[in-house]
Chain A
Amino acid sequence: MSDKSAITLTINGHDHKIEVEPRRTLADTIREDCGQTGTHIGCEHGICGTCTVIVDGEPVRSCLMFAVQAAGKKIRTVEGLATGDTLHVMQQAFMDNHGLQCGFCTPGFLMLAVGVLEREPNISDDDLLDVLSSNLCRCTGYQNIIKAVRAAAKAMRGK
């Protein structure tokens, strides 16, 4: 245990002034201290990717980052993807292609795919498969996820 530090986390454009222990993970902080429970925690050791968020443009496993490390950076979570009632093309593509069943891993896949495609819109299909192999899903068997991401990639490039 240790003393808490005062930090500001900027999540989806909103500032959250909070006090956290230095050891507190970004994932727990986003969920518990900032109340954004859309980011889920699946393993807490950086393998399943369920907790993926975008930090300064990079997909990051928020269970492997401390909240204090994310202070002053721009954090994006699943709650920030849609615009009003309009789903992000990635969300829409997941819906259209049955890219989810229970929905627990979904926020992580959405943020991973969006983060990668924003950075690298023309990513090759092989590289895309490689990237998406870094997150786990237990329900879908993945084929509908890759279909969804390919469809969204096309739409994002077309914009």
Chain B
Amino acid sequence: MTAPAKFVGRSVPRLEDRPLLLGQGRFVADISFPGQWHMRVVRSSVAYGKIKSIDATAALKLPGVHAVWTAADVAYIAPIPFRLTGLKTLEPYRQPVLARDTVRYVGEPVAVIFADEEYLAEDAAELVDVQIDPLRATLVCSYQPDFFDHVVSSEPGVVRKGYGDVDAAFRTAHAVVSLELSIGRHSGVPLETRGAIARYDQVRDILEMHGAAKVPHWNRDTLAQMFGRKRESVQLFEGHVGGGFGIRGELYPEDILVCAAALKFRKAIKWIEDRREHLIAANHSREQHHKIRAAIDSAGHILAIDDEFFHDNGAYMRTHAATVPDLTAAMLPGPYVVPVYRAVGHIRLTNKTPCGTYRAPGRYESSFVRERLLDAIAAKIGMDKIEIRRRNLIAKSAMPYALGLETLGTSIVYDSGDYSALLDKALALADWKNLQQQLLKRRAAGDKVGAGIAMFVEKSGLGPFDTVRVEIIPDGTVEVITGVASLGQGVETAIAQICADALGVNYNNIKVIHGQTDRIDKGMGTFASRVTVMCGEATRLAATKLRAELLEVAAGLMQSNADVLDIVGEQIVRRDFSSGPALTLAELAREHPAPLSAEATFESTHMVYPYGVHIVAVRVDADTGGVTIERYAIAYDIGKAVNPKLVEDQIAGGLAQGIGGALLEEFLYDGNGEPLSVTFADYLMPTLSEIPELSILVTEDAPSPLNPLGLKGAGEGGANPVGAAIASAIDDALGRPGAVTRLPVSPQRLKALMAQT
């Protein structure tokens, strides 16, 4: 029996903040070891070409430069393996840690310098003479696959998903609506660049890597495999992480290189990326081109959706392999009844930075496409864009709803949801009727203003498992040890809240240990909005188990029965008389000869599916093509919020990134594959001025039936449909349904659009 919830459901303050506010964070660049060497990567300045020669003579002459490596020095290291959705056919397209004879994007590592000091390493990198014979770069993933080079095709794979007879559905349709839509190349771009420090302890034969993030256990296992070492002899340590967003913490060539060098030179090797490197070398994301059509009946019901898309994955298949196109195809149907469905996603390679996931991967893209389609259907049959959505939504009574599609090794079954009720709440939140009247008046007065809406289903809580150990340490502190990681979102707070309620202690007496492979043997890490659901439930299970054990042990010491004892705050007390004896957790831990701890694993074969509605009002400046967001409202059903304020924080942060991708952010290239977005002056991220005040409504109408607390994830719903909603609003402001076909809607593109009549 556990106490009623005291912490779960409350917006208690974050446990993470104090060291971060005091400047006591331990970010990767803050970590140093005596005698460390610095690594600097020499990168290709050519998008596609054959390496003729690499001459490091001048670099090696600088005092303090110890070594320069090229591909020959790391020939024993295999390309980096896949972590998710790793189709066998994609394996030839994995990235080598240093380019062998061919370079395939500007920014590809071709050599590395090891030197005493960072500035010196950079000087030396400038002196490495890399001669490359350029070849004609492929920069557009065209309709016809061609040869990427003499060996490999530019189409390493095709994702196919669907059900039903598409051709029959289109033959008998009342009408067909077709669109061509593109999403621009952008990415997570955390404020902290990547970095890694490896060192090798010869005496204990342990390789350590500091600066791990996101998936430390997977990376430990992979590094062990790549270097032919025992898993236990590789340890990864996560410090503070300056934002993740999907991109940070995957295994990159640089991580492998610092480890290889630490093993070889028996020195601590430190690598900290600069911003230019980050913008050309860390994972890009999102770039897709869709040709989508819907078959509809005369009342606007969707009869079938048929989508063919081209996913530009850049030069290699990195750790995410086919994850993004797979999710795009799997999540495209969203909250609507789609009786017949087909998606064919062509994974294409180009001579640009390789891609991976970015917050709401595949969903930012497919929500844009799907919601554009809904708007187009509404326009086709002359129906209001709210009504067309309402008419096609999956009913509450249909839950749980098996979509008939699979992704990430699970079949998609929407576990719970009342989409139409949330739509009503969102419209009320945005004061939709009044908003429409105001916009009408202002448009009559000549303003270009409009409102947009987008609905979506998110996924979260990816299994297959999470394991947690809860321990009482002798000073009375409770430690929760988990294999997840923190990317700044408040993991420690949320997990402590769940543990506190299950155990009966205060949440601020709980320390959540994450990302330390030497503290727990396995862990799945932090991605796919999985932590609160998977780690949360594992924590609840472990804490419940530990509570029973503590009461049992205390009963012996207090000469009482466990069933009359309770844990209140940091004390074990008797329920039956309030002034009776009490025992603190610290006393109990010190009295007990063995550690007081319990471990539990939560397994789940299905994901859980939160959902939401975004509504936005924009003003378009006819002279500049600039878009000002005047209002933004988000309704999101989370099932059960552990800490509502943290959920809102996730939504607000996701929205800002979504706005970036909708209006500002894009990695551009010139005709030779030279990247043009290499500083924050040309890769424009939103500032305070671009972000509107936001109304957020977090509802708990549809708790998940797949875990006892009813939890669903919060990480990605803020970003998911932002491109879609803003596009819809710009159409409305221009009075031209379907005008926006491409993200980001930059001022140049919008001006060009307005110039077309």
Q: Residues of A with Cβ closer than 8 Å to B?
A: 1, 21, 23-24, 28, 31, 36-45, 47-48, 50, 77-79, 81-82, 87, 91, 94-96, 98, 100-107, 110, 129-130, 132-146
Contacts and interface: CB of A to CB of B under 8 A. Distances in A.
A104 B27 contact: yes
Contacts of B646: 98
Contact of A38 (B24, B120, B191, B693): B24
A19 to B, nearest CB: 13
Contact of A138 (B16, B18, B118, B685): B685
A23 B120 CA distance: 12
Contacts of B188: 138
Nearest to B22: A82
B607 interface: no
Question: Ordered nearest first, which 10 A-B pairs have the shortest CB separation?
Answer: A38-B23, A102-B488, A103-B20, A104-B242, A141-B656, A78-B23, A141-B652, A47-B680, A37-B30, A142-B688
B755 interface: no
Contacts of A42: 191-193, 275
B752 interface: no
Interface string B238-263: 00111111000000000000000000
B21 A101 contact: no
A99 to B, nearest CB: 9
Q: Which of B25, B274, B681, B685 has the most CB of A within 10 A?
A: B25
A107 B490 CA distance: 18
Contacts of A45: 275, 679-681
A31 B490 CA distance: 26
Interface residues of B, number: 58
B657 interface: yes
B344 interface: no
Nearest to A78: B23
A104 B21 contact: no
Determine chain A's interface SS by DSSP, over half rule. loop
Nearest to B31: A37
A48 B17 contact: no
B17 A24 contact: no
Interface string B483-514: 00001111000000000000000000000000
A47 B656 CA distance: 18
A50 B20 contact: no
A79 B687 contact: no
B23 A39 contact: yes
Contacts of B657: 138
A8 B680 CA distance: 32
Contacts of B190: 102, 104, 138
Interface string B634-662: 00000000000110010011111100000
A101 B489 contact: yes
A79 B22 CA distance: 6
Contacts of A47: 679-681
Contact of B191 (A1, A82, A105, A141): A105
Contacts of B693: 143
Given A82-B22, A95-B21, A136-B680, A129 B16 contact: no
A29 B203 CA distance: 34
A106 B21 contact: yes
B22 A143 contact: no
A121 to B, nearest CB: 20
Interface of B: 13-14, 16-18, 20-25, 27, 29-30, 62, 118-120, 123, 188-193, 240-245, 274-275, 487-490, 645-646, 649, 652-657, 679-681, 685-689, 691, 693-694, 718
Contacts of A137: 191
Contacts of A81: 22-23
Contacts of A104: 25, 27, 190-192, 240, 242-243, 488
B655 A48 contact: no
B739 to A, nearest CB: 27
Contacts of A44: 274-275
A127 to B, nearest CB: 12
Contacts of B24: 38
A26 to B, nearest CB: 14
Contacts of A50: 191
A79 B23 contact: yes
Contacts of A134: 687
Nearest to B120: A1
A140 to B, nearest CB: 6
Contacts of B25: 37-38, 40, 103-104
Contact of A106 (B20, B30, B686, B718): B20
A98 B11 CA distance: 11
A95 to B, nearest CB: 5
B688 A132 contact: yes
Nearest to B242: A104
Given A79-B23, A100-B20, A104-B25, A139 B243 contact: yes
Contacts of B22: 38, 78-79, 81-82, 87, 91
B194 to A, nearest CB: 12
Contacts of A1: 62, 119-120, 123
A53 to B, nearest CB: 11
Contacts of B689: 129-130, 133
B604 to A, nearest CB: 26
B687 A102 contact: no
